[in-house]
Amino acid sequence: QVQLKESGPGLVQPSETLSLTCTVSGFSLTSYSVSWVRQPSGKGPEWMGRMWYDGDTAYNSALKSRLSISRDTSKNQVFLKMNSLQTDDTGTYYCTRDVAGSSDWGQGVMVTVSS
């Protein structure tokens, strides 16, 4: 059974760095790509970036200067780090397994950027 679970702090101070972890089970990170998608409350999703199955990465150009995605295949984890957070980075952050589009989603983690 494919599962993805996001974890990380619910509250981040403005200008600080967000660190999130996606822990997966039921599939191998060396066989499937994983994306990060975020969604501000009441708005549509935004694709942030992807960790390809071969270890390569791709980023949304709008976030590329602030975003880094990495992985630890031995722990079945994919990591997101984004710096210089502002209030408009508030929202729910999801990791997804990509087969055709985002075929499987985690439950999401709500992140609030506030002092």
Partner 1 sequence: DVVLTQSPATLSVTPGERISLSCRASESVDTYLHWYQQKPNESPRLLIKYASQSISGIPSRFSGSGSGTDFTLSINGVELEDLSIYYCQQGNSLPFTFGSGTKLEIK
Applying CB under 8 A, the residues found at the interface with partner 1 are 35, 43-47, 50, 58-62, 94, 100-108
Contact 73, 20 (CB under 8 A): no
Choose between 60 and 68: whose C-beta lies nearer to partner 1: 60
Q: How far is the CB of 108 from partner 1 (least distance, A)?
A: 6
Q: How far is the CB of 44 from partner 1 (least distance, A)?
A: 5
Nearest to 45 by CA among 3, 83, 102: 102
Choose between 13 and 107: whose C-beta lies nearer to partner 1: 107
In the DSSP assignment, the letter for residue 35 is E
Q: How far is the CB of 73 from partner 1 (least distance, A)?
A: 23
Nearest to 82 by CA among 19, 22, 15: 19
Choose between 18 and 37: whose C-beta lies nearer to partner 1: 37
Choose between 16 and 45: whose C-beta lies nearer to partner 1: 45
Rounded to 5 degrees, φ, ψ at 75 are: -105, 0
- Non-local (6+) Cβ contacts of 61 within 8 A are none
Q: How far is the CB of 48 from partner 1 (least distance, A)?
A: 8
